[in-house]
Structure 1
Amino acid sequence: MQRRSTARTTERRRYTVDAFAGVPELAHVVSEDDEEDAPIHRHEDSAASEGSDESEDLAGLDDFDDESRVQPQTPHPKTKRASRPKSTLTRVNAGKDTAEVAAAKRVWARDLTLPSRHEDADGYGGFHHSFIDNNDAQHDEARRAWERYADSGCAKVFEDYQALNVLGSKQSAEHIVESQACDFVMGPAAEQKLFHLHTQQSLSLERPWSRTGVPHAETNNDSTSDERSGFMVNLGGRVQCLEWVSAQRGSSQYLTALVAPIIGHEVADPDAGDNSSNIQIWCLEADVQGRVDNTMPPRLAVVLRYPWAGVRMMQWCSTHRRPSEIDIPNLLAIIAEDGVLRVCGVPLDLIVDDTEYKLLEKSLELRVANCLCTCIAWLSPTRITAGYSDGRVRIWDLSQVQTGEMTPIKTIRAHNSYITSIVAKSSDVLTQMVVVALSGKITHISYAETATRTTGTVSQINHMTMPILIYHEFLQRVISYDDDGAVYTYTLPGSGRPKIVAKANGLITSMASSPCHPCILIGTADGKVISANPLQADVRSKQGTWQQKWFTHEWRAASHNDVRNNTNSACTENPSGKALSRILEGYKAECVDSVAPTPFRMVEGKTAITALAWNPNIHVGGWAAAGMGGGLVRIEDIAV
């Protein structure tokens, strides 16, 4: 086989057509091109002469001559690709919030399960507001919100649409809930004592743990122990909701409880009588250290009755305000069983020493035809958002009610099913809402005046529980749970994987977060109340996350032979014929086991923890309240 030689002996054949052939003006150019393309035949003599000429030309060059040096090519600087201008939604949703979250993690890195009362020498612990804005910025934003409330005429709206009357002594007697006594044992595990509470009676938490405890309730308390600061209160009915009143900077703190009648063993007929549910406002006093004053028992300040169906949910407007700037009542949003959203103003600055019974005959009603309101969240003193049974979220503006427009200013399609919970975070630029439906799907909504964006996330498993959402101010995330008792955190834009921060061995029935510290409370159907710090899931991700039981509640029914004898008689030593509750406490912290199986137990309905609430006022931020299905409420300062 003969190899092809690289040396050409003939002219390269042309395969292209000269477009300028035949043009006289370009004839000389074509001849010069032919000369350049002509083949070159090198001989030895010519090669030698060319070599000598080349050596003569290079003889005059110097290696150190800068002009003769080959200049290196400088690389082109790397430039970033031009980015598209970001909209307001993108800047707020996908903006950097690591600085605020990192500040919260740095402050509360040592709080494993319970909040710390005071800040130590290194700057750890204590109660703080959000690190996103300082206190002055929060007060300025709140001041502008309340100024819009006053300028828009919302106060005139409540004067026209609301009728809140004080009942007399004879009329108030008709609205008093039938007394439901509670018997319970409480104290050290080996030395528990039996106590008996009538309706609207309280018991100091010091009594069960004192060595000289008396097995009955007394309003006055001479004990000076400061180990436990709080009370046990019997509300006389099932506690459906608990809410602390915000913006209370004095020693008096107000706890609002939604109480429903307890259904007994007999078959209940919904049409047999009227609904005796009510809203109770209790007043508690704080000492100079910010703890619950055990020397002053809780006092029932206001009992709010209403002529319509029973109330399912309520929420106070928690916007920061200064009472000295604008004299306005506290705004309370109510959802009744008829599916109508009602807003009323409740004045708390004129509360007297005796209990006042008030009848809310008429209030501002926000109705939607053929639809039930299921959940609410305040955006500002003039705006409120609500979720409905048709899967839509509606935003109401109270200032437009004065003009006669009773329609929402915005309707957003969020789900195809029943919305169970909604949380919202509003500012002057953007409103962010997170809603969860009965199917367990969580949706994030970003709403501005010019655009609206809806983002869905992965659905969680909720077949046996009603999914609830709470917003964690310091983590910038929302918290929810599934049927296995696992508590997850979700980012607001819906990106990223959910992270487990706690695990409850049972069905979760209630949750609560605080604006003063990062700890949350979790209540279960089997009577456990668990405290955890979700920030620890990021700070100590490799060491594990910790949680701790605050207390557990167990309830057993009376024997069938003596069910009708469960009266308010004196408590005996052997109350076998009466319903009895047992409260256990003093649990150690435990590490969260996210892969452990969840055992399910059949328990009585009155055992469940039905409501939880943290006090939002910063000087008493460690106060927590837990409501039980049997009518008991535990109020305690659990900060360490």
Structure 2
Amino acid sequence: MAAPRRSGRTARYADDPLKAAEISGSSSSEADVGANNWKGKRRVSQKDSSDEDFAGVVGHGEEELMVMDDDHSEDEEDEAASSNDEEMSLINSRPGYKAAKSLPSRHAGEAKKVVQVSNSGGMRNRGTPNPTEHVSKSKHLQITFGTDERDLTAVIYARDRWCRGIDAGLPTRMSLNQTETLPSHGPEKAFGVDPEEIEMEATQGWDWYYNDQIGGDFRRRQRTESIQKGEARRKYLPLQNPGKHKVIIGPVNDQKAYELGQDDILNFGDAWDTINSRIKKDKKSSQHSSTMKKVDGSASTSETQEKKVREGWILNLGNKVQCLAWAPNQDSLVQYLAVAVVISEQQKEEFRVSGELKGAPAFTPSDPYPAALQIWSFKARDGEMYTKSLDMAFEPKLRLVLCTDWGDLRRISWCPVARTPREEDEPKRLGLLAGIWGDGSVKILDVTVDGDSGATEYYKVTSAAFSCKPPSTVCTCLTWLSPSDIAVGCANGFVAIWNIASLPATEIESSPVPYFYMQLHSTYILNISSAYPQHPHLLGTTSMGGQTRLTSILDPQKDMVDTVRMRMGSMQMSYSPVLQAFFSHDENDFVRLLAIRRFYSTITVARLPSTVSTLAPCSFWHPSALLGCTGGTVIAVNPLRRLLHSREKNWHLIWFTHEWIRNQEENGVCVSRFLDGHRAESVGLMRNMVTDRRRLVNGSLIVTIHEEGTHITTLAWNPNQQCAGWASAGMGCGLVRVEDLAM
């Protein structure tokens, strides 16, 4: 048998895969040629090359992504490509060798295969070049976002909207209002996804929910009963500190003090009356003539004069705020915020039934402690602009309280998938809310409110619409994949996925079986996030062992990639569809960005002054991220500039800084102080600077431990487009701050 045709790319690899597979013989001279690798235009020796230089797959053509010799002609490239196809078929036909697929995506037909040859010497593959080396800007974009035009046009569209200097920290109202005015040439407004698929998901994807049989059975599984306000307050909403909470807020040189009881509400815009009156006086003389001449601008002028320098609300809920989440798919002026507040350890003693825990609390189901999910309503100002601001004339109201006996409510997540309104949405259906309770189970509630009633409704939930707990473990985190699919991380390192629309009626009382249940980590999963809407089948997970991993549920054993392992696990992870990347952090309080196409390498985008404690789920309408820390600081950062150009300056903006002092006397008053008015700063991200200047005290590296009441425990962006600039922050002392951050 004649020797098969050899590839023209032999000189590009240190080891010939055909030689390792023993398909054809090779002379010593050919081996010497293969030993002389080329990296770009610089010849390197065999000892300088490594498997890391060819790790991973970015799927569009090998001719663009391989590390090649630039002197090859087009004819040689065509000959090499045809020869390579012959090599692929020969290798696939040999027993013991296989062709591994790249990460599956919606561009499945465009992904190229990667040859993997297993021998006694180890595993070698062909993949992307090393992103840390000097590459051109076009090559950098291809490595980061891929070569598909849908991904690249989506990034260009985001660059045109969000790379202005004024958007370096928080989103501006001008940029948010340009959603309908900027030119569009395809699916870039939908992050590269076909708009027809988004529309189909918003309509046909919810047919099961409105179906009388499937959706009716789902809703009938949820059982609630009305309870009295006194019982709910006494058992499910107890007050930890009977005294009032003192809040100090306003300009630094003229702050004012307020006292708040439980469920009291503060309009902190009144603290800036001195500045507001001065600004109104200056505007009155300059805008008087233009207001009289332009009738069509009178409404916007009066609105500008009425709006204060700072506008927002502060709520006192009495105890540590565990969870915050805005209800999606709310097109009206009324917006709803779900809040979960835990009860104290002293209050739990009354409901303890099992005595001492038999295992670690994080791995063991808790006793059936009482918990309450509160739904608060806020109203937007009805104006001419597309992006709405808070209506300070409408005081927030507690609309609904759902009481449970399943332990502390630790995680909540509304289904983020768009839903087209229908006639069946009366009474007001807020959506599906999934949560992780202290008993180790994941439950889904169908939340509805009475749109006409202004009184607070109290209900006790005895049975959820969906409830499940994997055997011999507890659920720790969750994320939505579609209107009917939910993924849950577990304490044993497994990930379970259920389709809640396909559960038969016979499984109402039994625990449903997931269609996906596989171990992705060797230990406790701290957080899980789906790359929805571009790649809902890709799951980003973090574990207590310090691993951060991206896995495809289509083939989790092959399509899996890790990034740099940390010494401590990261509790926070969220996917930004605008940036096509995951947000996370490391043990040194650096915020890192993990692009889908180059997940194996990290991009540092921010640095926090203390330990990162929370991260707001990324918004669908702007690239800004909110991060809170244990020192009480909330930082906003827009990393799009640094993602596109690695040498760009990195800016961050502090939303506010919170300080808390514990009361020294029994039934005393706790004090919180807010510092506002910070300016945007360019922060250096060199790690040696952090070690030398920020944390070294007398030659020792220190970590500051702050009071729990100072911590920023949870953050949330409003997911609705008209209120995309609204943000909320929960603190360990029980305060919730809601403010419109669109500048």
What's the TM-score, normalizing by structure 1?
Answer: 0.78
Match of 1:480, as an amino acid?
S
For 1:591-606, what aligned pairs fall within 5 Å after superposition?
A: 591-595=682-686, 596-597=689-690, 598-599=694-695, 600-606=703-709
- Cross-structure match for 2:480: 378
1:236 aligns with 2:318: yes
1:387 aligns with 2:492: no
Structure 1 counterpart SS, 2:274? coil
1:249 aligns with 2:350: no
- Alpha-carbon deviations, 1:133-157, whole Å to 9, x = none? 3656422222121024445944233
- Cross-structure match for 2:273: 210
CA shift for structure 1 position 166: 2.2
Match of 1:533, as an amino acid?
N
CA contact (8 A) 1:444 1:493 kept: no
Structure 1 counterpart SS, 2:503? helix
> Of 367, 372, 383, which aligns to 1:278?
372
User: What is the rounded CA distance, in whole Å, between the counterparts of 1:294 and 1:427 in structure 2?
Assistant: 34
Larger radius of gyration, structure 1 or 2?
A: 1
- Alpha-carbon deviations, 1:608-632, whole Å to 9, x = none? 0000000000001000001110011
Change (3 A) 1:301 1:585: same
Change (3 A) 1:237 1:314: same
User: What is the rounded CA distance, in whole Å, between the counterparts of 2:157 and 2:496 in structure 1?
Assistant: 35
Match of 1:400, as an amino acid?
S
CA contact (8 A) 1:106 1:124 kept: no
Change (3 A) 1:176 1:87: closer
Structure 1 counterpart SS, 2:501? helix
Change (3 A) 1:120 1:274: closer
- Cross-structure match for 2:642: 537
- Cross-structure match for 1:469: 573
> Of 135, 149, 173, which aligns to 1:117?
173
- Cross-structure match for 1:79: 78
- Alpha-carbon deviations, 1:162-196, whole Å to 9, x = none? 10222234544544623443112111111111110
CA shift for structure 1 position 602: 2.3
- Cross-structure match for 2:547: 441
- Cross-structure match for 1:571: none
For 1:511-530, what aligned pairs fall within 5 Å after superposition?
A: 511-512=615-616, 513-530=618-635
Note the residue ranges of structure 1 that are not aligned, 5 or more in a row.
Answer: 1-74, 214-222, 567-577
- Cross-structure match for 1:324: 422
Match of 1:156, as an amino acid?
G
> Of 470, 474, 489, which aligns to 1:368?
470
User: What is the rounded CA distance, in whole Å, between the counterparts of 2:204 and 2:532 in structure 1?
Assistant: 13
Structure 2 counterpart SS, 1:178? coil
User: What is the rounded CA distance, in whole Å, between the counterparts of 1:477 and 1:427 in structure 2?
Assistant: 12
CA contact (8 A) 2:275 2:309 kept: no
Match of 1:528, as an amino acid?
T
CA shift for structure 1 position 542: 2.5
Change (3 A) 1:120 1:171: closer
- Cross-structure match for 1:68: none
Structure 1 counterpart SS, 2:160? helix
Match of 2:322, as an amino acid?
Q
User: What is the rounded CA distance, in whole Å, between the counterparts of 1:183 and 1:276 in structure 2?
Assistant: 27
Note the residue ranges of structure 2 that are not aligned, 5 or more in a row.
Answer: 1-73, 89-98, 112-145, 183-187, 277-304, 354-366, 696-702
- Cross-structure match for 2:260: 197
- Cross-structure match for 1:344: 445
CA shift for structure 1 position 87: 7.2
For 1:388-407, what aligned pairs fall within 5 Å after superposition?
A: 388-404=490-506, 406-407=512-513
CA contact (8 A) 1:393 1:414 kept: yes
> Of 582, 599, 602, which aligns to 2:673?
582
CA shift for structure 1 position 299: 0.6
CA contact (8 A) 2:590 2:608 kept: yes
CA shift for structure 1 position 123: 8.6
CA contact (8 A) 1:109 1:539 kept: no
User: What is the rounded CA distance, in whole Å, between the counterparts of 2:469 and 2:177 in structure 1?
Assistant: 54
Change (3 A) 1:243 1:548: same
Identical residues among aligned pairs (%): 28
For 1:16-27, what aligned pairs fall within 5 Å after superposition?
A: none
CA contact (8 A) 1:419 1:438 kept: yes
User: What is the rounded CA distance, in whole Å, between the counterparts of 1:632 and 1:147 in structure 2?
Assistant: 39
Match of 2:467, as an amino acid?
E
Match of 2:492, as an amino acid?
D
CA shift for structure 1 position 279: 1.1
- Cross-structure match for 1:499: 603
CA shift for structure 1 position 131: 3.0
1:167 aligns with 2:227: yes
> Of 116, 136, 154, which aligns to 1:100?
154
1:484 aligns with 2:598: no
Match of 1:235, as an amino acid?
L
CA contact (8 A) 1:186 1:584 kept: yes
Match of 1:378, as an amino acid?
W
Change (3 A) 1:532 1:444: same
Match of 1:108, as an amino acid?
W
Greater than 6 Å deviation, 4+ residue runs: 84-88, 120-126, 266-270, 427-430
Change (3 A) 1:156 1:603: same
Structure 2 counterpart SS, 1:359? strand
- Alpha-carbon deviations, 1:287-323, whole Å to 9, x = none? 0241001111111111111022121111111110122
CA shift for structure 1 position 351: 6.1
CA shift for structure 1 position 493: 5.0
Deviates most, 295-304 or 146-155: 146-155
- Cross-structure match for 2:30: none
User: What is the rounded CA distance, in whole Å, between the counterparts of 2:524 and 2:636 in structure 1?
Assistant: 29
User: What is the rounded CA distance, in whole Å, between the counterparts of 1:235 and 1:505 in structure 2?
Assistant: 27
Match of 2:434, as an amino acid?
A
CA contact (8 A) 2:496 2:514 kept: yes
1:287 aligns with 2:385: no
Match of 2:458, as an amino acid?
Y
User: What is the rounded CA distance, in whole Å, between the counterparts of 2:539 and 2:217 in structure 1?
Assistant: 26
Change (3 A) 1:191 1:343: same
Deviates most, 363-372 or 128-137: 128-137
Structure 1 counterpart SS, 2:504? helix
User: What is the rounded CA distance, in whole Å, between the counterparts of 2:643 and 2:78 in structure 1?
Assistant: 35
Change (3 A) 1:245 1:360: same
Structure 2 counterpart SS, 1:565? coil
Structure 1 counterpart SS, 2:639? coil
Match of 1:524, as an amino acid?
C
Change (3 A) 1:493 1:109: closer
Match of 1:337, as an amino acid?
G
1:155 aligns with 2:261: no
Aligned-residue CA RMSD (Å)? 3.1
Match of 1:445, as an amino acid?
T
User: What is the rounded CA distance, in whole Å, between the counterparts of 2:454 and 2:263 in structure 1?
Assistant: 15
CA contact (8 A) 2:368 2:406 kept: no
CA contact (8 A) 2:563 2:601 kept: no
User: What is the rounded CA distance, in whole Å, between the counterparts of 1:153 and 1:444 in structure 2?
Assistant: 37
- Cross-structure match for 2:726: 623
Change (3 A) 1:514 1:121: closer
User: What is the rounded CA distance, in whole Å, between the counterparts of 1:177 and 1:166 in structure 2?
Assistant: 16
CA shift for structure 1 position 122: 9.3
